[in-house]
């Protein structure tokens, strides 16, 4: 696996909608398990106002991006660096889609959506020994040096090291892809009002509502698996009516 070259990417953005929001900082590093080959980072003028809620997360203000390159000027070099390499990132589908959507708007050819990718969030779910699977918690769990502020390159630097720790359990990238091709059973709800609660403790009404939302495959698999368990155990009526046995 040491012969394989990966590209770790991260974007800071104005929000979470790839079609409506814009990239305000991007970083990428081409690396192997033992070497760094190339890197790229830049603040980006989003040509729109940066919401205060986003500034509170990444601390990138409108003044900081004023006069910086627009994304269409940066994309040719960024896409060339990434090439057809395996992309690594934490929740990396979002970063891929942000860059690809920017390329679409700029009319720049982009095959990024076809690159194979390895999501360290999903790898961490399989690993299972970290209290939570946020990048910061994984950094602490693996005792990786703090790179400072929540910015694109600092996140990429930490993410690469987290990936190396998580990849130790695999013999090859093909083994990773094979295992990650299947949904992963999660232990607890990672978001919403029941965040942190084991699925077996969450009211069935909430699970039925969540089962039809646009969540990632692992979360939907975990929710629907819990619903199947309850249905098999005839627990639907019990969950819906706590006085059903009285």
Distance CA 110, CA 195 (A): 36
Neighbouring-strand partners of residue 117: 87
Q: Return the closest-CA partner of residue 47 out of 106, 108, 113.
A: 106
To the query of whether residue 90 is one of the catalytic residues in this protein, the response is no
Distance CA 120, CA 134 (A): 10
| Sign of the torsion formed by the C-alpha atoms of 79, 158, 142 and 122 | negative
Q: Are 91 and 99 in contact (CB under 8 A)?
A: no
End-to-end CA distance of the chain: 60
* Catalytic residue, candidates 58, 77, 114, 150: 150
DSSP assignment of 56-105: HHH---HHHHTTSPBHHHHHHHHHHHHTTSEEEETTHHHHHHHHHHHHHH
Cα 175 from chain centroid (whole Å): 20
Radius of gyration of the chain (CA): 20
To the nearest 10°, report the CA torsion of 26, 29, 30, 33: -140
Q: Return the closest-CA partner of residue 144 out of 154, 153, 152.
A: 154
Q: DSSP state, 202?
A: S
**What are the catalytic residues?**
150
């Amino acid at each position: 696996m040491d012969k394989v070259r990966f590209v770790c990417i991260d974007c800071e953005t104005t929000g979470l909608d790839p079609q409506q929001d814009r990239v305000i900082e991007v970083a990428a590093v081409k690396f192997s398990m033992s070497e760094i080959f190339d890197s790229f980072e830049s603040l980006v003028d989003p040509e729109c106002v940066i919401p205060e809620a986003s500034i509170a997360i990444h601390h990138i203000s409108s003044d900081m991006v004023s006069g910086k390159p627009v994304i269409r000027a940066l994309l040719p070099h960024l896409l060339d660096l990434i090439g057809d390499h395996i992309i690594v990132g934490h929740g990396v589908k979002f970063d891929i889609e942000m860059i690809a959507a920017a390329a679409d708007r700029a009319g720049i050819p982009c095959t990024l959506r076809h690159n194979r990718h390895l999501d360290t969030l999903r790898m961490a779910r399989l690993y299972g020994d970290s209290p939570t699977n946020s990048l910061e918690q994984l950094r602490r769990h693996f005792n990786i040096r703090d790179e400072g502020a929540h910015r694109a390159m600092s996140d990429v630097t930490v993410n690469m090291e987290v990936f190396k720790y998580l990849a130790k359990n695999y013999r090859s990238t093909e083994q990773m892809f094979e295992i990650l091709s299947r949904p992963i059973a999660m232990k607890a709800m990672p978001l919403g009002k029941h965040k942190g609660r084991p699925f077996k403790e969450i009211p069935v009404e909430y699970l039925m509502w969540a089962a039809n939302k646009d969540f990632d495959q692992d979360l939907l698999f975990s929710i629907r698996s819990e619903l199947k368990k309850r249905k098999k155990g005839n627990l639907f009526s019990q969950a819906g009516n706590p006085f059903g046995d009285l």
